[in-house]
Amino acid sequence: VGDAHPARRVTLAHVAARAGTSQATASRALAGDRRISEATRRAVGEAAEVLGYVPNVAARSLRARRTRTLGLLLSDLRDPVHGQVAAGFEEEAVVAGYTVIIVATGGRIEEERRALRVFVERRTDGICVASSVMDPTEAMERVGSGPLVIVQPDHPCILQAADALPPGTLRTDDASGMEQAADHLLAAGHRRIAYLGPGEKATDILRRSTAQRVLHERGGVELRVGVVPEDAWERPGEVAGALGQDPPHAVLCYDDKLALALLDGLRARGLRVPDDVAVVGYDGIPFAALANPRLTTVSTPTAEMGGLAARWLLDAVGSGSLAPARLLPVALAVRESSVRRARTTGRRREPVMAGRG
């Protein structure tokens, strides 16, 4: 034998030798096995301490057939929403003594497949797939037997079987969220309303069509639709431009990033929010509350969702069965961006086209 690795690592055998016990006893002592006498337990503990023994998780996992690892697939760690989900997930995993592997996919399905492969190779005890564009069925097939939780799937399946989703599916109630938002705008008297979104994602379609339906049914209002690239929020001018030359009086945005960009873009065009245009976001990221005007938004329990996903997985590791699909409630947070201020001079409602068009 003889790998060319000089770094001598302390193994359980060394600890056992120093403690004067067998390897098995040392193993049990360190594991806190009640059957080991207090004396040897201390002896082993001391030996481990002195030698600086650190168990090798790879060996343990191989033997124990479990890794105490959870896999988390998400599209972008930069995104506040995903950050929240990841944070909640990680926190919950940690308290259970689990470690989290995170793979960001950028929303590319090939990367998502690669991520799942990574998780399976590493024999994670559970896998969470967040905001994935992959067909949940495909995800399940690729994952195989281990527990799989799917959070906020961004696949057309969410459009059809509203609640007939497979166990382990966790979503926020998009329909309810958009309904609340649309109702809010109608109640405020708006009739020229637009929706701004990326235009392709399933979540986008769900939110948009819900708004469309609600506005039509309850207000007889036809929703105008503007489409912008997913990264358009980095270019506020483009976002505002998507509203066209004859801007609506209210805008429902696909998410807060877009809404915040819209706020900026409208300001650049000389349009005041909410006086000229009301804006509603979606997600409830922290910065929405700090915008000027403060952004009205559908507040979603993102961190809680991440935490719950982890708990589901951990429970499934024990029980072998996954919790039934669940729709988490959301709530509209009404703030300044959609509420006309009383102090302004009356409610002029002419198609305002101030500023540089």
Number of residues that bind a second copy (CB under 8 A): 55
The answer, yes or no, to whether the previous bond of 80 is cis (omega within 30 of 0) is no
Pairing of strands 148-151, 169-172: parallel
Of 164-172, 182-190, 256-264, 348-356, which segment contacts a second copy by CB under 8 A? Answer: 256-264
Q: Is position 13 an interface residue for DNA (rule: CB under 7 A)?
A: yes
Query: Residue 93, exposed/middle/buried by CB under 10 A (0-12, 13-18, 19+)?
Result: buried
The gap from C-alpha 141 to its chain's centroid, in whole angstroms, comes to 22
Say whether residue 199 binds DNA (CB under 7 A): no
Single residue of 22, 37, 137, 292 touching a second copy by CB under 8 A: 292
CB of 216 to a second copy, least distance (A): 32
**Residue 115 tokens, joined:** 């991520």
Q: Are 108 and 139 in contact (CB under 8 A)?
A: no
Smallest gap, in angstroms, from Cβ of residue 344 to a second copy? Answer: 16
Residue 13 φ then ψ, to 5°: -60, -40
Do 279 and 334 touch, CB atoms closer than 8 A? no
Chosen residue from 117, 218, 341, 349 binding a second copy by CB under 8 A: 117
Structure tokens at 301: 């329990």
Binding test (CB under 8 A) with a second copy, winner from 51, 118, 205, 325: 118
Distance of CA 187 to the CA centre of its chain: 31
Nearer to a second copy, 213 or 294 (CB): 294
238 binds, among a second copy, DNA, none (CB under 5 to 8 A by kind): none
Q: Which of 63, 343, 347, 356 binds DNA (CB under 7 A)?
A: 63
Of the candidates 229, 257, 233, the residue with the CA atom closest to the CA atom of residue 81: 257
Please identify which residue in 187, 290, 353, 354 interacts with a second copy, judged by CB under 8 A. Answer: 290
Told to check if 67 binds DNA by CB under 7 A, we report no
Question: Which listed option, DNA, a second copy, none, makes contact with residue 267 (CB within 5 to 8 Å by class)?
Answer: a second copy
- 304 part of the interface to a second copy, by CB under 8 A: no
CA distance 12 to 45: 11
102 binds a second copy (CB under 8 A): yes
Residue 303 near residue 276, CB atoms below 8 Å: no
Could you check whether the bond before residue 293 is cis, i.e. omega within 30 degrees of 0? yes
Query: Residues in the site for a second copy, rule: CB under 8 A?
Result: 3, 5, 7, 54-59, 61-62, 65, 67, 76-80, 83-84, 86-87, 90-91, 94, 99-104, 117-118, 120-123, 145, 233-234, 236, 260-261, 263-264, 267, 286-287, 289-294, 303
